[in-house]
Structure 1
Amino acid sequence: MSQHTDIDLFVIGGGINGAGIARDAAGRGLSVVLCEKDDLAEGTSSRSGKLVHGGLRYLEYYEFRLVREALIEREVLMNAAPHIIWPLRFVLPHSPDDRPAWLVRLGLFLYDNLGGRKKLPGTRTLNLRRDPEGAPILDQYKRGFEYSDCWVDDARLVVLNAVDAAEKGATVLTRSPCTSARREDGAWICTTKDSLTGEERTFRAKVVVNAAGPWVSDVIQRVAGANSSRNVRLVKGSHIIVPKFWEGPNSYLVQNHDKRVIFINPYEGNKALIGTTDVAYEGDAANPEIADDEIEYLLAAVNRYFKEKLRREDILETFSGVRALFDDGQGNPSAVTRDYVFDLEERGDAPLLNVFGGKITTFRELAEHGIRKLGKFFPDMGKDWTHGAALPGGDIEKADYELFRETMKAQYPWMPRDLREHYGRLYGARITMIAGKATSLADLGQHFGGHLYEAEARYLVAHEWARTAEDILWRRTKHRLHLTDAEQAAFANWFDGMKDAA
């Protein structure tokens, strides 16, 4: 076992909260280690609805502050990462059987005006019989509303935060669970063990941050041997992926009979992502699976509104994530707050900051607030800095992706448009780190199918901690949805051989 490495901050959990906290702290000049037991974003943070949004439905639970903060952050994140975050227009068919039209209009008015909206267009009323957005909707729904929110590649958002943290000096350890964390002489002695190589590393940290998401309580009790009066509620959200069944770039938001809302979003070009459910969960947070009744629930919600009826046979893929929400005592999982709560325990001059709850949209603000809470332990650290800072690849002219498209076209005229779009949307201005001085497709190396070339895979291994084929096919990218089983197997064989050769 290696000697202790002295650091300021040891962060447990490589989801969006942990990666955001590591980035914020490293940018203030703190020495940081981020450890994740699996791959970055392998848990909750790659299994979301992939939206940066204010949370329209939270208005019904009077979460006005949370919605306002999320709407403000929506604009901040659009500027920080315009390659992986972009506007969507959501069509909301109105059903008089559910919420009254005046209530929907009031909610959308608040949504338009609570957060100082600058970039996105506001709400408009639709005649679903006349306007093209109503074409796929059943004729019984005559009226609708259209409003703005944003799409995000959630797993890439996590990885880009980790990349930024590392480039500012942080050490990022993936597939390296924290096997122990104990207080000793006014500090934390934290040990990690790499599950692929067996390597153990030990750090002496001034402060530990527990951002383990669904495992936050487990880390408190088992790893740190501490206690907290805070509790989490585990809520499972499931999604299905089907072929896209409408024309146009817009998304849909439909109300179900139980007052929940379901998002139906364009996904990966010719597919649709539909979700989410909200189910109290008590199983293994590492391997949640969609249940039959969740599938029926989502299909029924869609089929209630659309002319084209979805069947189970249409489902291409499913995924489920477990959200660790702060337990505020609400019985209904949909009503449990999406706000975040910090629990700072200062026993033995070795502080432990536990992070409960949160949502992708407010991760930057959560990280900023969390590091502020630790300010008294690091009086010399830098000031808040992330509000106007681009994430890696997001430093494109005027944060305008359309302008960047033209730049890519001029820079790589030989590259097929859809491949340029793939690289642009995932890597933004860092496309040059993959394509480099290539002047033909052959220069990108072996082609594995779809848009997957050797150059991208090697970049992800070298710069984004991709350590298995699945890390590349499903979290760093979504190539898995575009490759045949045989192509995926061939890529996995190549990847394993590349690792062995290295």
Structure 2
Amino acid sequence: MSIPGPGTFDIDCDLLIIGGGINGAGIARDAAGRGLSVLLCEQDDLAGHTSSASTKLIHGGLRYLEHFEFGLVRKALREREILLRAAPHLIRPLRFVLPHDRHQRPAWMIRAGLFLYDHLTRRELLPGSGHIALRRHPAGAPLKAEFTDGFEYSDGWVDDARLVVANAIDAAERGATILTRTRCAAALQRGGCWHASLVRADGSSIAVRARCLVNAAGPWAAHFQHAVFPARPEPALRLVKGSHIVVRKLFEHPFAYIFQHPDRRIVFAIPYESDFTLIGTTDIDFQGDPAAVAIERQEIAYLCELCNHYFAQAISPADVVWTYSGVRPLLDEGAAAAATLTRDYHFELENDGAPMLSVFGGKITTYRKLAEEAIDRLAPLLQPARGAWTEHACLPGADFQGPTPSAAAAAGFGQFVRQQQQGFSWLPPRLVARYAHAYGTRIGQLLGGCSALPDMGEEILPDLFEIEARYWIEREWALTAEDMLWRRSKLGLHVPADGAAILAAWITGRQQCVGDMRGRCEG
């Protein structure tokens, strides 16, 4: 792919961001809000890889205390509070139960860890930890009789893919350009700027000139850095695969579990999508194409075996209804086991000529702080009009009580859901609740002009009406059935086996209709 010459640029911007995961979208949002002109390109869909393959938690990382990562845990715990306020429709409190296995970590060690977890930073929104008698606690009922004591503590659950989309929407509304299905084919420093060639899925190209380049390509970040700077030593990274399984729900109560394993790893069992239990994650070194990552039989067996150690109701691979895997690029500090690698992030700034900032590592909980620090690093070079701002701003849909996040708004989300169910009483309450969680206060944008079910258009699949599918296409960059069923929503778990094919046919028909209308207008 050739690099465009002077005077032939389609887009001229301050910042070109490579990667549409949580880090790229967060950086785009922060930069656009500071007054910089921003272009983000993503080779696939937003959150198409690692950022939609998380355990769906906003948490400090209790187990990281065992590796003495107090700074990372403190930072993550502080961000947990900020994010619970900034997006209570996408992030909600979740109470965890840790059954005590007397053959593993001693009770005093767990108590000490939970005490630190409660007190490493200021905590306002979540209750503290405590000891529980499992025979008298709802979470004890599904467990084997041998587990009589345990501990409970709080963290947060997140719709990870929608969190990425919310950041991209906010960035776009502040002036950023978001291009999905668009890869950066080449980038070259020239005249103190970056000249880049972007290629869309249809093969068309876009010529870009940018003052600065941000490499937020996730598992591909090291490869991209090496392609741009072949002589630069590659960073010390390890690609680690994390896999999850989903089974029919194993318990009726709202608590989640954190299970210990003799290999010192931990696994979560989380209530998921009303009818299911999410179980994960594994930590396995990965080699190969991150776009082709998939769970292995041994991982499924491992997760089932660990759950069967604790739950009275045994599960087997035959009970798994869905799996997903993601690849995380983690800093390699010489740890022998993938599970012990740090989840903190690292920047590398190349400032010989046009600057390029590469982002390595990180976790979804600390994405906002990562983005803020990234633009702070570049601020002396780009001179943005405004300073850091995201700590005290709501994400789109979270302005229940105004544009500034508050503890009251976070605590009052349940009341907001009930109000929406009353206001849209012509819709099933469960559907309104899903809309409220997905779109927050923007539920009015989704349902504007509708006052009865026929106004929603065709019911393409159960609980998926035409109005929502169009919204995803027109406002959230969705293009395929997979985008809609597994990232803009998790309806893929609830629709018939041929649901993806039915939705794909609807998308194709809509595209043909739009093309026919455009042709008539041009004629």
User: For residue 258 of structure 2, what is the aligned residue in structure 1?
Assistant: 253
Pairing of 1:120-131 with structure 2 (within 5 A) = 120-131=126-137
Q: Deviations over 1:82-141 (max 9, x none)?
A: 001001111100001110000001111111111211010111211112222201111111
Q: Deviations over 1:39-78 (max 9, x none)?
A: 1101100000000000000000000010011001001001
Q: Deviations over 1:151-196 (max 9, x none)?
A: 000001111101110000000010100001100111100111111x
Distance 1:500 1:199 in 2: 20
CA contact (8 A) 1:182 1:225 kept: no
Q: Tell whether 2:74 aligns with 1:68.
A: yes
Distance 2:315 2:498 in 1: 28
1:36–1:145 distance in 2 versus 1, CA, 3 Å: same
User: For residue 249 of structure 2, what is the aligned residue in structure 1?
Assistant: 244
SS at match of 1:249: coil
| TM-score normalised by length of structure 1 | 0.98
User: For residue 186 of structure 1, what is the aligned residue in structure 2?
Assistant: 192
Q: Which residue type is aligned with residue 386 of structure 1?
A: T
Counterpart among 274, 278, 285 of residue 280 in structure 1: 285
Unaligned runs of 5+ in 1: none
CA contact (8 A) 1:228 1:343 kept: no
Pairing of 1:397-436 with structure 2 (within 5 A) = 397=401, 398-399=409-410, 400-436=412-448
Q: Which residue type is aligned with residue 243 of structure 1?
A: R
Q: Deviations over 1:281-331 (max 9, x none)?
A: 112111111111111110111000110000111100111100011122212
Q: Tell whether 2:275 aligns with 1:270.
A: yes
Counterpart among 170, 176, 183 of residue 177 in structure 1: 183
User: For residue 93 of structure 1, what is the aligned residue in structure 2?
Assistant: 99
User: For residue 382 of structure 1, what is the aligned residue in structure 2?
Assistant: 386
Pairing of 1:473-484 with structure 2 (within 5 A) = 473-484=485-496
CA contact (8 A) 1:182 1:224 kept: no
1:228 positional shift: 4.4
CA contact (8 A) 2:222 2:234 kept: no
User: For residue 399 of structure 2, what is the aligned residue in structure 1?
Assistant: 395
Aligned length: 500
User: For residue 105 of structure 1, what is the aligned residue in structure 2?
Assistant: 111
SS at match of 1:177: strand
| TM-score normalised by length of structure 2 | 0.94
Pairing of 1:79-90 with structure 2 (within 5 A) = 79-90=85-96
Counterpart among 428, 437, 452 of residue 449 in structure 2: 437
User: For residue 233 of structure 1, what is the aligned residue in structure 2?
Assistant: 238
1:477–1:380 distance in 2 versus 1, CA, 3 Å: closer
Counterpart among 355, 362, 368 of residue 358 in structure 1: 362
Q: Tell whether 2:220 aligns with 1:215.
A: yes
1:4 positional shift: 4.3
1:75–1:236 distance in 2 versus 1, CA, 3 Å: same
Q: Which residue type is aligned with residue 123 of structure 2?
A: R
Percent identity reads 50
Q: Tell whether 2:350 aligns with 1:345.
A: yes
Range with greater deviation from structure 2 (245-254 or 227-236): 227-236
Distance 1:64 1:283 in 2: 33
Q: Which residue type is aligned with residue 340 of structure 1?
A: Y
1:411 positional shift: 2.0
Q: Which residue type is aligned with residue 471 of structure 2?
A: Y
Q: Which residue type is aligned with residue 107 of structure 1?
A: G
1:410 positional shift: 3.1
1:272 positional shift: 0.6
Counterpart among 438, 460, 484 of residue 448 in structure 1: 460
Distance 1:359 1:475 in 2: 18
CA contact (8 A) 2:421 2:433 kept: no
Q: Tell whether 2:476 aligns with 1:471.
A: no
RMSD: 1.2
User: For residue 486 of structure 1, what is the aligned residue in structure 2?
Assistant: 498
SS at match of 2:498: helix
